[in-house]
Chain A
């Protein structure tokens, strides 16, 4: 069965420190994986997507994610947090063949000054 687990519901970091948002996926096949961000009262924006061309994917605003098949993980990282990064982040999985697109429960990122 296809599922996505975001391991932390909340993450709090100080401005300028690294960010790590964790995501594990479960699928019978290697799924397509995405990270989306949702700022308060705004829509959902694509941060990055895994295309199978490279295991390390670079996205917008300095974010990147590494696909690790052996660990079934697709963690999102950023070397240095900015106040504007405070938002909710969703790890998303799309299965093969059917296009069923599942969102993780979300991780709310807080950035302290």
Chain B
């Protein structure tokens, strides 16, 4: 398996533009997580899905952020409109919910810069 795949690796955009980050989890994994990493806040859980259903989105910072998982092999995180303070590395991770101590498999992250 290729692991968790995120695209793009880097995204540079201007304030006000729409940004869409993509994630393909490992096949067979039933949990998918979106994290944001910044120097100030560390790794923040934004939202996670179980079997394509959002379970907890309490970490989503505001209405400008939305996430979807239309099927088991694809998820998107959208920011509209983007702002400079959204600049961060966004990680997607997946795991198999067979047991609570299953490890997370992380993608390589998307480095987002909003100018």
Q: Is B90 an interface residue (CB 8 A)?
A: no
Name A51-108 residues within 8 Å CB distance of B: 51-52, 90, 92, 94, 96, 98-106
Query: Are B103 and A34 touching (Cβ within 8 A)?
Result: yes
Name the one of B43, B48, B56 contacting A90, with C-beta atoms under 8 angstroms: B43
Given contacts A105-B42, A106-B43, A98 and B103 within 8 Å (CB-CB): no
Query: Are A106 and B101 touching (Cβ within 8 A)?
Result: no
Query: Are B101 and A49 touching (Cβ within 8 A)?
Result: yes
Q: How near does chain B come to A67, taking the closest CB pair, in angstroms?
A: 12
Q: How near does chain B come to A60, taking the closest CB pair, in angstroms?
A: 12
State A6–B96 Cα separation when bound (angstroms).
26
Name the one of A94, A103, A105, A106 contacting B100, with C-beta atoms under 8 angstroms: A94
State A49–B103 Cα separation when bound (angstroms).
8
Q: How near does chain B come to A50, taking the closest CB pair, in angstroms?
A: 7
Query: Which residues of chain B are within 8 angstroms of A46 by Cβ–Cβ distance?
Result: 103-104
Query: Which residues of chain B are within 8 angstroms of A32 by Cβ–Cβ distance?
Result: 100-101
Query: Which residues of chain A are within 8 angstroms of B103 by Cβ–Cβ distance?
Result: 34, 46, 49
Query: Are B42 and A98 touching (Cβ within 8 A)?
Result: no
Query: Are B31 and A99 touching (Cβ within 8 A)?
Result: yes
Q: Is A7 an interface residue (CB 8 A)?
A: no
Q: How near does chain B come to A6, taking the closest CB pair, in angstroms?
A: 9
Since A34-B101, A44-B106, A103-B35 are in contact, a sample of 12 more A-B pairs with Cβ atoms closer than 8 Å, ordered by chain A residue number, is: A31-B100, A32-B101, A36-B104, A43-B108, A90-B43, A99-B31, A100-B48, A100-B56, A101-B33, A101-B48, A103-B43, A103-B45
Instruction: Give me the interface of A with B, judged by CB distance under 8 Å.
Output: 31-32, 34, 36, 43-44, 46, 49-52, 90, 92, 94, 96, 98-106
28 pairs, CB–CB < 8 Å, chain A vs chain B:
A32-B100, A32-B101, A36-B104, A43-B106, A43-B107, A44-B93, A46-B104, A49-B101, A50-B101, A90-B43, A92-B104, A94-B100, A96-B100, A98-B55, A99-B50, A99-B55, A99-B100, A100-B45, A100-B56, A101-B33, A102-B45, A103-B35, A103-B42, A103-B43, A103-B44, A103-B45, A104-B42, A106-B43
